[in-house]
Amino acid sequence: MSPRGSHFKEVTRSWLRQILSDTTDFGDGWRKVLGGAPHVTSRDSIIEVVDESTCQRVARIINRDVLGWQVGPPPVVIFRIGDYLIAYPSNARLGEFGYAVGMRRDLLIRGVATW
């Protein structure tokens, strides 16, 4: 893994913990646009999904249902929080326009956040 990729994952995990643990309207809003993402407490883990089969399935779903592409690159990173997944497609770069896709564990898209 490149140092940039490692930095992206650290920043992303920290950002997820910050917004999903926020108890104000700000946190509620982010959980809502991510399709009902769970409220995270200090005891909850945010785990990177590294299973290649799952990553490829998520990539196909995002490419088809969010981007409208026939083919495309896999997500940069997928995190699991309990039974919920949040995927960051490969064009979501630190400091640039991007998006995150919230999904149930059965890979049904629940919400898409853009910035």
CB atoms within 10 A of CB 15: 13
The pLDDT score that the predictor gives to residue 96 is: 53
Contact in structure between 103 and 62 (CB atoms under 8 Å): no
CA separation for the pair 78, 112 (Å, rounded): 14
The pLDDT score that the predictor gives to residue 109 is: 96
Q: Which residue has the tokens 């979501």?
A: 92
Closest by CA to 90, choosing from 101, 80, 106, 82, is 101
CA separation for the pair 67, 25 (Å, rounded): 29
List the chain domain ranges. Answer: 3-114
For the entire predicted model, the pTM comes to: 0.85
How confident is residue 4, by pLDDT bands cut at 50, 70 and 90?
low
pLDDT in tens, 9-20: 888 899 999 999
Q: How far apart are the first and last CA of the chain?
A: 26
CB atoms within 10 A of CB 82: 13
